[in-house]
Amino acid sequence: MGEPLERFPHTKDLIDLIKQTLAIFLPKSSRLPPEQEFNKLLSKRRLIPNRLVELALTLIDNGKPQLASCAVERLRSEFPPLAYAYFSAPILMCLGKSEQIDALFEEAAKSKGGRENIDPQIRACWAMYISSTDPEKAICLSKEVLDASPSNSTAVVTHLGLLSLLDPTASLGFFKEHRSMIKNPGALCFAGLASLRLGLLPEAEEYLRVSALFGHDPQPKAYFAEALYRLNRPAEALLVCREATVWVEQYSESMLIDFGIRRQNPMHYGYIDKKYFREPLNNSEL
């Protein structure tokens, strides 16, 4: 039951968030498959970067990383350093090249005369991207953003998530101090995970139960199941695991379908993602 706590699923959460944030949707009349549309977009004189990134992530999910990497080169030739770093980062992360992301943002900061001249929200993204490869620098960047924008809820949630990677005690203290500014219930997963690591099981159950109610992310449910199991409620834990497993297998982006807009290529968890999610769920079931 200890295994899920050793593998904080921060990177996958970030990738999903980027896919949702950068998504640009095709007109209903378009029927091009992702690879064909990707190649057509690459050849256009005027690039649509958001759509190119989404298609590149789709190609990586479909087992075509080499083709997807062409998007990085096209972005390099099309945009100045900061925009290039911003748009390339999610592709590089999915390609397993996270170490390159920091170098790109540093180059962009140099072109701007220092990272203090970069928009705080972009610096927060920078911190999140490098959290798995350089957590100490990520915390430093996040603290800079928080100092510059102390009332920004995104800066608060970013710092909370990064703290939970390194210091669960500090993470809980920060959460309690800034709880009134946290509007996204999904961010409660960070407080729940910190509580779980510290053995504060009733608090962990409370935070993770709320976090698991919103969205279709199986990760909070995996930790919620662990909290229930450690509270000697194995039947409930098993039920939560089974529900999360269904989400892993059947997940597809439906956010805009709820508003009457149907996506041409809905996002989903690819094979690698499913394998990654199944491990903590299977461990929780044990």
Residue 5's pLDDT is 39
Amino acid identity for residue 240 in this structure = V
Whole-angstrom Cα distance, residue 158 to residue 162?
6
pLDDT digits (tens, 9 = 90+) for 158-178: 888 888 877 899 999 999 888
What are 47-96's pLDDT values in tens digits? 888 889 988 988 988 889 999 999 999 999 889 999 999 999 999 988 88
Query: Are 120 and 148 contacting, i.e. CB atoms less than 8 angstroms apart?
Result: yes
CA-wise closest residue to 153 among 129, 131, 185, 126: 185
| 27-44 tens-digit pLDDT | 443 457 888 989 998 888
N-term to C-term CA, the chain: 7
Rounded distance between C-alpha atoms, residue 4 and residue 11, angstroms: 14
Average pLDDT over the chain, rounded to whole?
Answer: 76
Q: Which residues contact 157 (CB under 8 A, 6 or more apart)?
A: 182, 184, 187, 190
